[in-house]
Amino acid sequence: MIHKLDPNSKIIYIFVANIAPALIGARMATASFILISIVILTIGKVLHKTAPMLEFSGLILLTVAIIQGIFHQGNTTVAFALGSVVFYKEGLMFALGIALNVINILMSFSILVLTTKPSDMVETFVHMGLSPRLGYVMSSVFQIIPQMTKTMATITDAQRSRGMETEGKLKTRIKAFFPLISPVVMNSLISTKERAIALEVRGFGSKQKKTFLNDLQKTRYDDIFRFVLILILILSIFWRVLIWLK
């Protein structure tokens, strides 16, 4: 069901999920949006796919917690001590705020990214007014990267079979970088010329207005979803105004 939502609705969700907590200004708001995102991801059966992204940022967030916990400049209240290392409450709360923000961004984007095909996403952008030429550029990146990764594996094998060392001291590893990357780069740059000619021959540079292969499909759920989101946004603006008036 989540997969069938219009990518537009998911973009609105990202927008609301990141603006509303900033307007409300409470950590609870951020936390509840994370929870909502987790629920949506679970319904879409893609929650497990967020693990690599979380791992990637989790490591940074962990060091943020440690460094801010010990050294944050407003630190006064001791939270706990591990041996001679003292963690302070202010620093840890600061780190918690950062962690909530980052995880909220991660989760809300995951809904769009994990439940939409890249080609559909690009098509939505073109419908929204992105130039079709740039749309082509974006969708061709998704094709070119797997291609280049394949070439990269071939070249690594080829160089290794010639006796190049790719492990060991830092100096050896730096030396290995050049013979690995230059053939891939040369290859891909030279093939761009052929691609340019192939595209031109098929009328890519034509100034005619382009048409779409697929129409955007909006379901009934889209309307409900968007209505709720806009309601949340209006309520949070209202909340902000109330705080200001106090």
Partner 1 sequence: MKRTSMWSFNLNTASLVLIPAAVGINYIGKLFAGALKLPLWLDSIGTILAACLAGPIVGAICGAINNIIYGFTLDPVSFIYAVTSIGIGVAAGILAYKGRIKTAVGAILSGLVIALVATVISTPINIGMYGGQTGNLWGDALFTWCTASHFPMWLASGLDELVVDIPDKVASVLIAFGIYKALPKNLTVLYKNDQKIERLD
Would you list the DSSP string of 80-143?
EEETTEEEEHHHHHHHHHHHHHHHHHHHHHHHHHHHS-HHHHHHHHHHHT--HHHHHHHHHHHH
> Binding of partner 1 at residue 145 (CB under 8 A)?
yes
| From 30, 72, 115, 123, residue interacting with partner 1 (rule: CB under 8 A) | 72
* Class of residue 187 by CB neighbours under 10 A (exposed 0-12, middle 13-18, buried 19+): middle
> How many residues sit close enough to partner 1 to count as binding (CB under 8 A)?
69
Among 15, 56, 80, 227, binds partner 1 (CB under 8 A): 56
13 binds partner 1 (CB under 8 A): no
Which amino acid is located at 149 in the chain?
A: T
Residue in 129, 178, 211, 244 binding partner 1, rule: CB under 8 A = 178
Local structure of 29: helix, strand or coil: helix
Which residues, other chains included, contact 132 with Cβ-Cβ below 8 Å and sequence gap of 6+? 126, 210
Q: Which of 31, 93, 164, 184 binds partner 1 (CB under 8 A)?
A: 184
Supply the DSSP string of 169-209, one letter for each residue.
SHHHHHHHHHHHHHHHHHHHHHHHHHHHHHHHHTTTT--SP
Is residue 118 within the footprint of partner 1 (CB under 8 A)?
yes
Residues 76-115: x/- map of binding to partner 1 (CB under 8 A)?
Answer: ------------------xx--x--xx--xx-xxx-xx--
According to CB under 8 A, which one of 78, 186, 228, 231 is a site residue for partner 1? 186
Contact 210/127 with Cβ under 8 angstroms? no
Nearer Cβ to partner 1 (204/238):
204
Q: Is 46 in the site for partner 1 (CB under 8 A)?
A: no
User: Please, which residues have CB within 8 angstroms of residue 216's CB and are 6 or more apart in sequence?
Assistant: 6, 8, 124, 127
Q: Are 100 and 28 in contact (CB under 8 A)?
A: no
Q: Which is nearer to partner 1, 43 or 134 (CB)?
A: 134
* Contact region with partner 1 (CB under 8 A), list: 31-39, 78-86, 147-155, 213-221: 147-155
Residues forming contacts to partner 1 in the complex (CB under 8 A) are 52-53, 56-57, 59-61, 63-64, 67-68, 71-73, 94-95, 98, 101-102, 105-106, 108-110, 112-113, 118, 121, 133-134, 136-138, 140-145, 147-149, 152, 156, 166, 170, 173-174, 176-178, 180-182, 184-186, 188-193, 195-196, 199-200, 204-205
